Amino acid sequence: MDPETTDLPTPCTSSAAVVDRLRQSLSSCSQLIQTGVDFRKSEQSLSDLVLFLNSISDSVVREPENQDLENASFQILTEIRLFITSSSVDQQAVIDALSFELPKTAARFACVSPRCMEVAQSIVDCFTDKCSPRDMLSILCEAIGSPRDAFTVPSYFAPLLSGFPKVFVSIRKRQFEQVKAAVPVILNALKAIVLDSDDEDADLGDIFHKANCIADSMKAVCLELEGKDNEKLCALLGLFVLQITALASMGIEYRLAHSSPLVLKLSHFLQCCGLSYLGLIMGTDVEKLLGFAVGDGGDDLVGCFSDIWLGASILVIWGYKSNEVALAAGADLVALKDELQSSRIKRWHAVGMLKHVLLCLYLPLELKKDAINFLLSIMHAKLSQMPNDENEDYSTYMPTLCSALQAIQVVIMYATDVILRKNAFAAFKELLADCPTSLRFDILRALIKDGDSSSMIAVLLDCVREEVRLESTKSPPASKVSKAESEGSQGTIFWSSSALELVELVLRPPGGGPPSLPEHSDAVLQNRPNQSTLWLIMLPSNSVHKVHDQKYFYATCQKSDQIHFSCFSFMQVLSALNLYRFILIKESTGKSNNTGVLSRDSLVKAHSEWLLPLRTLVTRMMAEAQCGCDELALCGLNPVEVVLYRCIELVEELT
């Protein structure tokens, strides 16, 4: 039967005629299946029935305001439910055959209206009651795993998701394997729903309620199992809860108020899965769950848990936000913060987990604020309680710390909330200060070398200058320090030739020549009130410490009046010149040469390779800006010119 020639209900066609046509089709299918004489005819009859029903549901999608089609849809679903529930036991073959098609067909009609949704869900329930749970598991997975584009909405998935809890608890053999096969399909569907939904999609609450019911059924199955199967299914449940938490928290501000009750319910699962806030925020519990549930060769399963690290961090942040949530998780926030404050290594692990929250595009701004506040709360180290971990190989933590600091940089540069930016900068400085001197230098060098924002590189160079200042005030004159003592001292790494290496990274880039100022400018963006702009943050593709292993990061800014001027392109050069001038003055007035800046070779190199090429470039750009009346360029170039000429004068005086 060609669906294009099917008689469809129209304003002139009664719903009774459509229902009568459906009744005849169901009767014909039933008779052919029961006789079992001609398998092809029974298959064709069922195929014709599905085409007929799908053609009507397609019409409803095209005409959502057509009340006649809505009435016809409701009566169709009612007739299907009546047929299934009135079937006797000896017609089980009919129910089994219909179960392969009608749950998905009913779900399509669930998109029409709330009352259609209710009947469609009851149809799915009927099939899960009457059919083999293992068969229904495959049927439901196929239905939610391959919807047509027109039906990728929460109302399509809701009745199908409602069938999984009953199916899970009804399976009696190989429960873990069966649930493990279904979980990726469920989670992939949920993520597609979340990312495709819009601002006012209230159906998401019902979707996540059903996800919570699925978690409840998994817990019920866990209680029936023993030994390794119990451990593996509990681990799978824990991963499921973490992923659901992340998905429920994603999105715009509208969803934030709806997330709290769900997170409260999900937090009750943590104890039965053996999860603690400390293990979650350090990531150790997440790795443990993956080891139990996935093991070796589980790449396909790991793919559906792409947000579990985010979910683990969010659960702890929600506990930080709400005492009720922390109580549901059986957590003690005071003890947690005390533990993190007492251990530098545990603190760094926690910071590494929080980066997932700071970088997630879809999270509400409120959660990012709470993440920064939580980070600040754990950075006040209790030195008297800290274990002796000075023998740790801190270099192994450099990738974690670099990526975390890059994530905080994104918040500093692109958050629209002023308080959030200030707190993020405070957290940035606290985290840097928490690192040993040698590691702190390596991190700053990596961030400067791999940085793509002129204004942020300028901030980093100012941090270096402050480190140089602090070390120079503590260090004795070079004449009173032996060469062996100088080489063995790790506390004076900034007050050494290393500081000049950072200056050279900016004033004489690795590619050679003076800094290419126009190309290193920050984005020039202006947001008008009530206008949303998408900012693109691009890290260098050759970065050693990439955040999230991605090259591009996005931040959506709502109702912002911020302007990023192109004169920011000169800030990194100005900061590098100020750092060099500071070192020159400090060394010459203190009659020391800890950095080697006063050696003749160093002065000649700086004069010929750094300063003179930069003077040529600045002079040309100043002339072009004056001719073009470019006030912004002049605004950026004037301070650079002043400091540059002062550096040249100092070098020439000392040479």
Among the listed ranges 60-74, 242-256, 513-527, which one has the minimum average pLDDT value?
Answer: 513-527
At 537, which helix (H) or strand (E)? strand 533-538
Confidence band (pLDDT; 50, 70, 90) for 144? very high
Q: Examine the pLDDT at 10 and tell me if it is beyond 50.
A: no
Question: Which pLDDT score is estimated for 467?
Answer: 92
Say how many residues make up the chain.
Answer: 655
Q: Examine the pLDDT at 457 and tell me if it is beyond 80.
A: yes
Q: Examine the pLDDT at 243 and tell me if it is beyond 80.
A: yes
Confidence band (pLDDT; 50, 70, 90) for 219? very high
Question: Which pLDDT score is estimated for 517?
Answer: 60
Mean pLDDT of 477-483: 49
- 542 torsion bin: left (phi>0), alpha (psi -120 to 50), beta (else): alpha
Note whether 181 and 300 are within 8 A (CB): no
Mean pLDDT of 104-115: 91
Q: Examine the pLDDT at 523 and tell me if it is beyond 70.
A: no
32-48 confidence digits (pLDDT tens): 888 766 778 888 989 99
Question: Which pLDDT score is estimated for 336?
Answer: 96
Note whether 159 and 126 are within 8 A (CB): no
Question: Which pLDDT score is estimated for 261?
Answer: 85
Q: Examine the pLDDT at 260 and tell me if it is beyond 80.
A: no
Mean pLDDT of 414-431: 93
- 3-state class (DSSP) for residue 295: coil
Among the listed ranges 122-136, 289-303, 497-511, 580-594, which one has the minimum average pLDDT value?
Answer: 289-303
More confident residue, 526 or 72: 72
- DSSP string of 308-367, one letter each residue: HHHHHHHHHHHHHH-HHHHHHTT--HHHHHHHHHT-HHHHHHHHHHHHHHHH-TTS-HHH
List of E strands, 559-633: none
357-370 confidence digits (pLDDT tens): 999 988 888 899 99
Confidence band (pLDDT; 50, 70, 90) for 566? very low
**Cβ burial, residue 500 (10 Å; 0-12/13-18/19+):** buried
Kindly state the percentage of the chain with pLDDT values over 70: 80
Question: Which pLDDT score is estimated for 418?
Answer: 92
Question: Which pLDDT score is estimated for 349?
Answer: 96
Averaged confidence pLDDT in the chain: 82
Q: Examine the pLDDT at 562 and tell me if it is beyond 80.
A: no
Q: Examine the pLDDT at 488 and tell me if it is beyond 70.
A: no
Question: Which pLDDT score is estimated for 269?
Answer: 96
379-395 confidence digits (pLDDT tens): 876 544 444 554 567 88
163-189 confidence digits (pLDDT tens): 999 999 999 899 999 999 999 999 999
More confident residue, 493 or 231: 231
| Amino acid type, 441 | F
Question: Which pLDDT score is estimated for 290?
Answer: 92
Confidence band (pLDDT; 50, 70, 90) for 533? very low
Q: What are the residues whose beta carbons fall under 8 Å from the beta carbon of 271, sequence distance 6 or more?
A: 329, 330
Give this prediction's pTM: 0.84
- Return the HEC string of 169-183: HHCCCCHHHHHHHHH
Q: Examine the pLDDT at 598 and tell me if it is beyond 70.
A: yes
At 536, which helix (H) or strand (E)? strand 533-538
| Amino acid type, 601 | D
Among the listed ranges 271-280, 311-320, 473-482, which one has the minimum average pLDDT value?
Answer: 473-482
Q: Examine the pLDDT at 100 and tell me if it is beyond 70.
A: yes
Question: Which pLDDT score is estimated for 565?
Answer: 34
Task: Classify residue 563 by its DSSP letter.
Answer: B
C-alpha to C-alpha distance for 331 and 279, rounded to whole angstroms = 11
Q: In terms of C-beta distances under 8 Å and separation of at least 24 residues, what long-range contacts does 591-598 make, across chains too?
A: 591/477, 592/477, 592/478, 592/479, 593/478, 594/472, 594/475, 594/478, 594/486, 594/492, 594/495, 594/496, 595/495, 595/496, 595/497, 595/499, 595/500, 596/496, 596/497, 596/500, 597/500, 598/654
Mean pLDDT of 210-236: 93
Question: Which pLDDT score is estimated for 331?
Answer: 94
